[in-house]
Structure 1
Amino acid sequence: MSAVLTGAETQACGGSPTGTRRLSEPNGAAFAERDLLDRVLTGLHDLDIEGETARRIQRLTDVRARLAQVLGWLTALPGTQATGRVIERTAGWLYSEPRDAGSPSDGYLATLENVLHFATGHLNRTAVAVAYVVLPASVSPWQMFTALEHAAERTCAHVARRFHDVPGLTAGDRVGFREAEQLINAGQAQVLVTPSIAHLAPDRVPDAWGYQTPEGIRAWLNARGVRLVLADDAQVPGSMPRRLPA
């Protein structure tokens, strides 16, 4: 199909007012280029949707893992009404499901993250910590205890008790650690702060005390719902050293 331009239209298009000019129809190459462009744009759109869906699912996985961890710590707190409400809310959202499990909405994810933030805040305002360190008898532990308190201040209400032992003791001879252990087992402490995991494991571990290996100590704390804060890995504020002496 073709169209004939009037003289005025021809002149406007740059032609002669006395002649005619035919409008050319799109050829096959133009159609092919447009079709290719449409398919490329559609593919990019599909890739973007797939990538966003994957990011949302990963975000859901991450926040659920953190909620489960915080819920375990919450259950180790003293049983108050306030803590009970936080536990109930945290557990309720942890085990909830989004309307579209294949692509959780931003609103649902934001709600989970808000619940996590609220639960963590309650935990940090309520938990009680104990500090433990191994130091030579010639070294006063109080500077170290101050550094440990700084390291733990964001994860607990306060450090209630401080214990220390000298190096070279067997598991059974570590009086300071045994006292800290008793408080934790009695549910009177929910955070254990120490310079490093090496301070918790005795130099010599008899068979009867085999659980006091680094792995065994971590398992014991996890079973009790107690957080382990390693000051060497924490950003210690103020003038305290970044690395604490072992």
Structure 2
Amino acid sequence: MEDVCGDENWQILKEVFALIDSYDDVLSEEVDTSDGEGSKTKVLAPVKEKGLLVKSKKKSARSHSITAEGAPRKKRIRRPETSSTAFQRRKNFELMTLRQEVSTLENELDNLKLKKQEIWEKYLVQNKLVGKGGSQSQTMAFTWCEEVLKQHRRRVESENLNRKLKEIAARQTEMSNTIFSVFQQQDTFYVSVILTLSNTLAFVANGCVEDGYLRIRYMPRLKC
């Protein structure tokens, strides 16, 4: 081979072969990867040199992003237990149930208070009748118990009255706010009504009674 090509040509060929051999470690191999749908993608194999390794990583990341964009997205399955409408309905139902339980427990508590109060009253009446001939200390104790019971009864009545008054005040405030908002929306109507009433009152107020008859003098219309 060396005799055929000559010394100079053989030296050039050796350098070319050496250059090709040095690139064998640099060039990347193509690997075929296929998914279930039969589409094939080519992925670059890792290389050894540092500079070319970074380039291969960029190329592989680009290829992965392309395949990810091309892949179809899975549709989200809406389930009754995870949907927002079902959750809100369940939440509202639980809230209504808790409110009913609260009202039931409040009624039971009021009944227990009444029963306890009735028991105390019966106890005081019986001991008062029995202890008429007792000592002065027992009589004073019964008197104090009666006073405590009366004060408790008055306190309960005042609390109930205060609760009712607060409800009435809240309703009145809501009604006044509604009326005020209606008048704010109808400013023209409100002003016209006020002007009509003021003109009528001024017209009547300037009249005089003569010979048993109401003599009304004409007054110019008020201007706003």
Q: Which has the higher contact order (CA 8 A, sep 6+)?
A: 1
Place the TM-score, normalised by the shorter chain, in its bin: under 0.3
Structure with larger Rg:
2
Scaled by the length of structure 1, the TM-score of the pair is 0.24
